Structures are given as C-alpha cells and as structure tokens.
Amino acid sequence: MTDVLEVKNLKTYFFTDEGIVKAVDDVSFSVAKGKTLGLVGESGCGKSVTAMSISRLISPPGRMVGGQILLNGRDLVPLSEREMRQVRGAQISMIFQEPMTALNPVLTVGYQIAEAVLAHEKVSKKEAWSRAVDAMKAVAIPDPEKRAKDYPHQLSGGMRQRIMIAMALVCNPAIVIADEPTTALDVTIQAQILELLDSLRERYHLSLILISHDLGVIAEVAETVAVMYAGKIVEIGPAMNVFHNPKHPYTEGLLRSVPRLGSSANAGEAKGRLYAIEGSVPNLLHLPNGCSFAPRCYKKTVECTLSEIPLEAVDEGHLTEVRCIHA
C-alpha cells in the first residue's frame, strides 16, 4: 500500500508575547491511497493547526519549526511559496467547517469552482465552467447547470457544503483535508454529507483526512484514527482498535464520557451518571512536565511526570501506538 501523504515529526509553534505555544508538537502519521485518517480531539488540541500546517496556511505568530510533509514522496517543506501555491488547491485541498464564510458572497458558486480550475490548469473559461458543473453533479447537487449560477446565500447549509466539496475535488487532488466539515450542519444533513464524502472517496480513490471533535463522525468514516491531546498524538491505530480497545486513558475517558444512543433502553429512566474526565485541558503555555494528561489521569504515577513519554507500539502487529507508560 502506498502512502499518499506522510507527515513526519511535524512541529508548529506560536510565538506569542506570553510565551511559546507548542500547538503541534512532534506529530507523525501517514495516509494511504483511498483511505481515511480521522483526527480527533477537543478544542485546542492542535488538530486544525496540523491541517493548516500541511497546506502551509499558518500565519505569524505561528510557524512550522520542524518536520517533513511528504506528498507522494516529495517533501513540501522546502518548496517556495510560489511552488506551494501550485500544490495547494490542486494536490492538497481543504474543506472547512463553515461553508458560508468560506465562500465569497458576491460571486456565483459556479464561478468560484471554475476559478479553482483556472488557477491550476491551462484551460479555457468555458472548459473550466463545464468542469465546475461536472463537479457539482458529482456531489449530487440537483440541476447543476442552473445552480451553478446561484450565489451562496441562495443555497442551504448542506448545499453550500456540497459546493465546498465540489471545489475541493475539481482539480483531482491527491489528498483532501476536511476540517469539521459537518459541525455546522444539522444531523440529518450531516448524515448526507458523510455519506457523500465516503462514496466520493470510494469512487475516486481519494485519500482523506477527516478532522472532528465528534467521535461518532470519526467512527463513521475513518479507517485509522489519531487522538490528539495538547498538541500531541496520544493514540493512533486502526479505528476498530482505538474505539473497541482504547489504550490511552484519555481515549478511554473520551469514549466513556459521550452519552450513547440507547442509554434508556437498558437503564430505563434511571440512567445514572456519565463518566467524566476531571479537570480541564491544560494551558498550552504552561504544560506540565512529562505527560500532559497526567493531572487529569486516573492511572497517574510519579513516573508520568518525570520525562517526556514516547509514542510506542503496544500490540504485536505494531498497528496501535500509544503515548502512555501504563498502556
């Protein structure tokens, strides 16, 4: 299996007046062709900064300070801004959370999709427009010829997100990064978009990085799951392993703390308490020594706070890696 994208030891820090925020600190993963990597974690864990670093969209005071980003074997880090512009949008494309703010309100959606084609390929405007209409057809927008002449406000949230997906796909990218693509959508529309993403991935052998805070969304589509906490991956492995047999106490806590559908079936009306991870996410300016999760962890021992905990394989096949000495 070939890896389309390989991220090695990525470090992105923010140099603020109050100190250095290590938003992404030594993150490594790879995405194979036609596969989906799910990146999950709570706000501030660094999942979006990871995505922005891959497409080099980090602006000061943030800066990528280390690591390699290999796209089909080619390292993107040494590329000039001009070269990077050819990669971004063509080989790596992104889908954002809020389709209303990501689209230009004064241009038709067809024009905006066609613009992406014109920016990267030497084609006529007419050709670009027909590519845009085709992309809209691929994301199942009814009557695409007519809808292409609509402005963003004329479309519903779900339709706008389909436009974003069409725009991301129109140049046949090697990898698509979807950052919370369904968070702003209602649950019935979310189901449509997840189904669409999954079917497109299958049809075009897309590689996908799906970023979400919602464990349910990740479980729906990801083959591999990486759990992030305070800038680091704390657990990474096949979705089945991570969800069914979580090894890191944070992953375990997260999974136990979400209310499950069907909770009233067994317990009736007396559903009792949810498992809750005590405390809150640490301030990235003042991270504790050793394991960042230690202050909230029920397995914590003195060893946890002494030195940096490495990410290590915990099973025989070396499929799952965990950053915990008690795993």
Partner 1 sequence: MPDVTEPLLSVQHLKKYFPIHRGVFGSVAAHVKAVDDISFTINKGETFGLVGESGCGKTTAGRVVLRLLEPDSGTIRFDGVDLLSLGKHDLRRKRRDMQIIFQDPYASLNPRMTIRTIVGEPFAIHGIASGSERDDRVADLLKTVGLDSSVMNRYPHEFSGGQRQRIGIARALALKPKLIVADEPVSALDVSIQAQIINLLADLQQQFGLTYLFISHAIPVIEHISTRIGVMYLGKLVEVGTSRQICSAPKHPYTQALLSAVPIPDPAARKQRVVLRGDVPTPINPPPGCRFHTRCPIAVDRCKIEEPPLRQIEDGRDAACHEI
CB of 113 to partner 1, least distance (A): 20
* Residue 246: cis peptide before it, omega within 30 degrees of 0: no
Residue 196 tokens read as 């669409």
What's the CA gap between 228 and 226, in Å, rounded?
6
* 195 lines the binding site for partner 1 (CB under 8 A): yes
Q: Are 313 and 320 in contact (CB under 8 A)?
A: yes
Q: Which of 31, 58, 254, 291 binds partner 1 (CB under 8 A)?
A: 254
Q: Which of 65, 219, 287, 319 binds partner 1 (CB under 8 A)?
A: 219
Q: Which is nearer to partner 1, 120 or 248 (CB)?
A: 248
CB of 97 to partner 1, least distance (A): 14
* 277 lines the binding site for partner 1 (CB under 8 A): yes
CB of 178 to partner 1, least distance (A): 14
Nearest Cα to Cα of residue 227 among 208, 201, 206, 246: 246
CB of 194 to partner 1, least distance (A): 7
The b-or-e profile of 55-77 (16+ CB within 10 A means b, else e) is bbebeeebebeebebbbeeeebe
* Among the residue ranges 50-58, 105-113, 207-215, 316-324, the one whose residues contact partner 1 (CB under 8 A): 207-215
* 243 lines the binding site for partner 1 (CB under 8 A): yes
Q: Which of 93, 190, 292, 320 binds partner 1 (CB under 8 A)?
A: 190
Q: Which of 63, 125, 149, 260 binds partner 1 (CB under 8 A)?
A: 260
Question: End-to-end alpha-carbon separation of the chain, Å?
Answer: 28
Alpha helices in 205-276 (DSSP H): 215-221, 239-244, 249-257, 263-267
In Å, the largest CA–CA distance within the chain is: 67
Q: Which of 72, 101, 154, 257 binds partner 1 (CB under 8 A)?
A: 257
What's the CA gap between 326 and 147, in Å, rounded?
55
What's the CA gap between 160 and 173, in Å, rounded?
20
Q: Which of 143, 268, 286, 302 binds partner 1 (CB under 8 A)?
A: 268
CB of 131 to partner 1, least distance (A): 26
Q: x/- contact string, 139-178, with partner 1 (CB under 8 A)? A: -----------------xxxx-------------------
* 1 lines the binding site for partner 1 (CB under 8 A): no
* 89 lines the binding site for partner 1 (CB under 8 A): no
Q: Are 175 and 5 in contact (CB under 8 A)?
A: yes
If you ran DSSP here, which 8-state letter would residue 303 be given?
G
Q: Which of 39, 58, 128, 194 binds partner 1 (CB under 8 A)?
A: 194
DSSP per-residue letters across 30-44? EEETT-EEEEE--TT
CB of 276 to partner 1, least distance (A): 4
Q: Which of 124, 269, 286, 317 binds partner 1 (CB under 8 A)?
A: 269
* 118 lines the binding site for partner 1 (CB under 8 A): no
Beta-bridged to residue 7, according to DSSP, are 29, 69
CB of 275 to partner 1, least distance (A): 7
Residue 183 tokens read as 């968070």
Q: E strands along the chain, which residues?
A: 3-16, 19-32, 36-40, 62-71, 74-75, 92-95, 175-179, 207-212, 224-229, 232-238, 312-313, 321-322
CB of 119 to partner 1, least distance (A): 30
* 319 lines the binding site for partner 1 (CB under 8 A): no
> Of residues 3-42, which lie at the interface with partner 1 (CB under 8 A)?
42
* Among the residue ranges 82-90, 125-133, 167-175, 249-257, the one whose residues contact partner 1 (CB under 8 A): 249-257
